[in-house]
Amino acid sequence: MIRLIGKFKHGVGNFSRRPIEPFRNATGEQLQNGTINVDVGQPFRFREHFHVPESQVPPVFGWQGDYRFEICRVEGAWGYRIKGGHPPNIVEVMSASEIKKDGRELRDGDELLLEFFE
């Protein structure tokens, strides 16, 4: 496993307005609505584990191309990193679990542990 510490960065909520049914179908999980963004300070490689074709998601907010996913963990909770829409130092994660820090809602700057397969 590769472990990184990053800082939570509040987003604008674009992903929370996308239909999540295609992503639920791809993962087999009841996903939370929206994503979290974590700034890891530098570009970090992306390893695609699966994707959802662009044709399966209604066009919204200028997204172009397939939705690519990498399996990961955030603070011990399993999730899916999404490729696209952010600079390479921002890790965007969707999860079936609500990601919290010490049992509370995330705040800008909270440090989060991310884990990725090698």
Which domains are present in the chain? 2-116 (2.40.30.30)
Most confident by average pLDDT, 25-29, 34-38, 72-76? 72-76
The pTM for the full model equals 0.88
- CA-nearest of 45, 69, 52 to 118 is 45
Sign of the alpha-carbon dihedral angle for 25, 26, 27, 33: negative
Q: Six-digit token pair at 26? A: 């791809």
The residues with which 7 forms a beta bridge, in sequence order, are 39, 111
Judged by average pLDDT, the poorest of 55-59, 70-74, 92-96, 106-110 is 55-59
**Tens of pLDDT along 28-49?**
998 888 899 999 999 999 999 9
